[in-house]
Amino acid sequence: MAMTASKEVKVTEECKITPAPNPPEKKLSSSSDEGNNNYLPLTFFDTIWLKFPPTQRLFFYEINHLSSHLFYNTILPNLKHSLSLTLQHYPSLAGNLNWHPETAKPIIRYSIADDGGVPFSVAESCTLDFDSLSTDHFKEAKDLHHLLPDFHYSESKANVLSLRVTLFPNYGFSIGYCAHHTSMDGKSTSMFLSSWATICRRLGEGGAQLTPELIPILDRSFIQDPSNISTIFTNQWMKMIHGNENKRSFVPLDMKPAPGLFRSTFRLTPEQIGHIKEKLAIIKSPVSTFTAVCSYVWTCLVKAEEGDITKEIVYLNINVDCRGESRWDPPVPANYFGNCVTYRFAKAKVECLKGGDGLVVAAAAIKEEIGSLAVKGKVENWLLEVSSTFRNEKVYGIGGSPWFDFYGVDFGWGRPEKVEMVSSDRNGSFSLCDCRDGNGVIEIGIVLSKPKIQAFASIFAQGLLQEIAS
């Protein structure tokens, strides 16, 4: 295969990684009517993401004086071999999205004979600077995209996962992935990456066993769907995008990043989060760390973008994990692999969020929505409600979570120097992540135009110094 090149990176290899031979017995399908063990049906938690662009994330690993010899002869072979071993447990990631030949339902199909395997590319940086890209400070959002793999899709087929490893000679390397959201949510993504890193780290120990919490459960029978909501969502997508619910296409929504975007990372320490919670003590019930952090970021964003917000009310989209919820019988296990999140929309008036009680208003709105979580009744309306809100309202989203432990993804050469959620630059989300140094620090990734991100930085810092730390 011909290698591609650009002035930023040179692609030196393109291949596919398949599960290692003799994988454990693992039936993909949990439904006999699918008729083939290589088919994994999608639940309604999966199909609600059917036309979303892929999720993208980058991990930067710093190794001083990294030589090409070490990279190509040790690091790269270990990454490939451990990925192959990991796919024994996660075979669906080596598949493609297809339309079932008999039912026309979207499914994930894995078959080596049918172009199976995870697309895996290797590149070398030509002009990109490791230190600049892995910094917390202002950087152009578009520069990170050079480190991401290609992601292929058509009307009849789409990648589930693709990966790229990029060498920065003398500095380190990055791992970038693109993942179709129908295949896994954030918790499942974290589980897969932790499994891959664990197996890679233990290659020299003569074993590659995973702990029970990292062994995925693919059984779809945990998500009961007697009303066939999965098909309802699929048809709604096709009608919304193509004007015809009988149209079948995996081509995602075209959500290109706006030009001139910059990204930066901000941090909140446990002490600062504690000060935020003190300000929220007026709320009768305790406020979680998640609510405190999101409330503060939400109000800062509204103040930074005040002049450009044309709506009286703004929304905050919250994805809530439904694993272990008592409403399921049996409950969905923590290591269920796929999607198991639902949407909640906190809403508040712009004027209230800007005011002196804005933090309290934001926290109360978030607590109310999370507290009203109900995965029952009118689930078939979820997609239409979400689509209408995003299409007609000013919505801020939240990507990632500080509880996913992405900085714990150590392949054997140390913790990541930096983790970036690249896809947040096209969907209006701010990202949450744990921190390299741990100790309860939470990273917040912001992507805005340069004037707005500078305004956000000033408001964020002033709020900590003047309002919260007082």
Task: List, by residue number, the catalytic residues.
Answer: 181, 410
Both tokens of residue 279? 């300000």
- CA 284, distance to chain mean position in Å, is 33
Three-class DSSP category at 102: coil
Q: Which residues, in sequence order, are CB contacts of 417 under 8 Å at separation 6+? A: 60, 61, 62, 134, 172, 436
Q: Return the DSSP state at 407.
A: G
Q: Which residues, in sequence order, are CB contacts of 335 under 8 Å at separation 6+? A: 191, 212, 213, 214, 215, 216, 217
Among residues 305, 296, 280, 326, which one has the least CA distance to residue 455? 305
Residue 268: half-sphere exposure toward Cβ, Cα within 13 Å: 26
| Angle (nearest 5°) at CA 447 between 445 and 449 | 150
Distance between CA atoms of residues 28 and 221, nearest Å:
12
Q: Which residues, in sequence order, are CB contacts of 228 under 8 Å at separation 6+? A: none
Both tokens of residue 178? 């693109």
Residue 454 neighbours by CB distance under 10 Å: 15
Q: Which residues, in sequence order, are CB contacts of 445 under 8 Å at separation 6+? A: 263, 264, 265, 399, 400, 420, 421, 424, 430, 431, 432, 433
